[in-house]
Structure 1
């Protein structure tokens, strides 16, 4: 009698494929929560190899590339940030109604502004603002987009003379309404949505210093220090807050 061999279903069946994708995403999310950026990135890359068109695969891999790029050697950072920009642009093109797609495109472009020249930086900053605003049109309670608009106002308000001249070429002048007061309001909005994030309180404190509100700045910076870490780089955020508190000691 001939022997019958039972052949297990191929791992490429839709069920096996979906299970493998779900495992990769679950493992990536778990690594992200414990600030293990490299493991998270590798998990999301596995997911991307299975499905390169899924919304959360694209923006989470982009997020991980940003996180890894922020600690990479300076010469390597443009490569990481450019990869994140490509992934998020693809995500936006496939999922134009995804708030996270637009938000992480704004984040990726924001990181690119740190590795390009002044003229290109100003050009990109316009897109950062636009993507953050689009995020809020889709999700009006998106604290991350509020924070980006706070940072955008803070940076534009602090432009030097040369950069303002470049902005005049790109924008026809520095965009109206960009001010430290506007930055303060955006950071306060972000805090209303996510009071647990040290980063929001740090930048509110930084902005209040620019507005000569040292008592308010001290309060915001102290809150930053008292909160638990929620992002992988919150230890750096708190180090900045600690330094700022020292810098404004005794100022009224």
Structure 2
């Protein structure tokens, strides 16, 4: 029984953290600019959707991006933003039914984006984000399998675009959590699922977080995740520095204030 409970702890600990980082990591668009031939009026609708998103009106922005997709179902920017907004809005739902509905939509749109743009770093990041959220409602064995898929797509994103900061942050979180499982969690993973995630290391986590911040030093979440990592490995002074630097950044996404609240609590506990 303790082994099964430990496995549940493993799955929830690794995947909840991964999913929160993957999906709520800000909905400001960060992707290579791709020019697409849009149907009449879709670009005006896209402009309106972006304005709503920048005003943190996520639900309204999502509807506007979906209107763009009604005219052009392969519109790059609309697909990317719709995926990320579905995952972010889904995470805020109080009812699991509503939450899962958003995640399912995100997954379907991410598959469509990946199929249409397989050589885009943004496509692979969006897909890993959508898969991550969907994994939350899957069984433990499936969640562990999807952990590998999340990592693979994040790595593909940085392979295609070494300056894609969001994917570097995802890799930092993945290495952080996977490299620091407890002994009991590792035993449970080995016994029930053929082993814990392989190839994770604190050195890789350290470098990935550093890379993400170097590329985009304005994102609050990157400092939050880096600070959590430093706390895990006992480097409290560096954690404090990350938190203080992150709190100095401007609010850029709908979720930044929530991350800042978490960071203030972390500072109080130091």
Which deviates the most, 105-114 or 160-169? 160-169
Deviation at 1:46, TM superposition (A): 0.5
Contact 1:122–1:166 (CA<8 Å) still a contact in 2?
A: no
Map of 1:10 onto structure 2: none
Contact 1:147–1:190 (CA<8 Å) still a contact in 2?
A: yes
Which deviates the most, 174-183 or 28-37? 174-183
Choose from 38, 51, 66 the match for 2:72: 51
Q: Does 1:82 align with 2:104?
A: yes
Q: Does 1:142 align with 2:180?
A: no
* TM-score, normalised relative to structure 1: 0.85
CA distance in 1: counterparts of 2:208 and 2:111, whole angstroms? 25
Map of 1:202 onto structure 2: 224
Contact 1:153–1:180 (CA<8 Å) still a contact in 2?
A: yes
1:105 to 1:165, Cα distance in 2 relative to 1, 3 A: farther
Contact 2:42–2:71 (CA<8 Å) still a contact in 1?
A: yes
Map of 1:60 onto structure 2: 81
Count of residue pairs brought into register by the alignment: 232
Choose from 44, 49, 63 the match for 1:28: 49
Task: State the structure with more CA Rg.
Answer: 1
Deviation at 1:82, TM superposition (A): 1.6
Which deviates the most, 157-166 or 26-35? 157-166
Map of 1:177 onto structure 2: 199
* TM-score, normalised relative to structure 2: 0.80
Choose from 235, 244, 248 the match for 1:222: 244
Contact 2:179–2:202 (CA<8 Å) still a contact in 1?
A: yes
Unaligned 5+ segments in structure 1 are 1-16
Contact 1:122–1:170 (CA<8 Å) still a contact in 2?
A: no
Contact 1:205–1:218 (CA<8 Å) still a contact in 2?
A: yes
Q: Does 1:237 align with 2:235?
A: no
SS in 2 for 1:18: coil
Deviations 1:67-120 (A, max 9, x none): 211211241212211210111111111110111111111111122233333222
Unaligned 5+ segments in structure 2 are 1-37
Deviations 1:165-219 (A, max 9, x none): 5644798533343133322221111001011111001111111111111111101
CA distance in 2: counterparts of 1:79 and 1:160, whole angstroms? 33
Contact 2:223–2:246 (CA<8 Å) still a contact in 1?
A: yes
Contact 2:87–2:102 (CA<8 Å) still a contact in 1?
A: yes
Task: Answer 1 or 2: higher relative contact order, Cα 8 Å, separation at least 6.
Answer: 2
SS in 1 for 2:41: helix
1:204 to 1:78, Cα distance in 2 relative to 1, 3 A: same
Which deviates the most, 110-119 or 92-101? 110-119
Map of 2:92 onto structure 1: 71
Choose from 190, 198, 201 the match for 2:212: 190
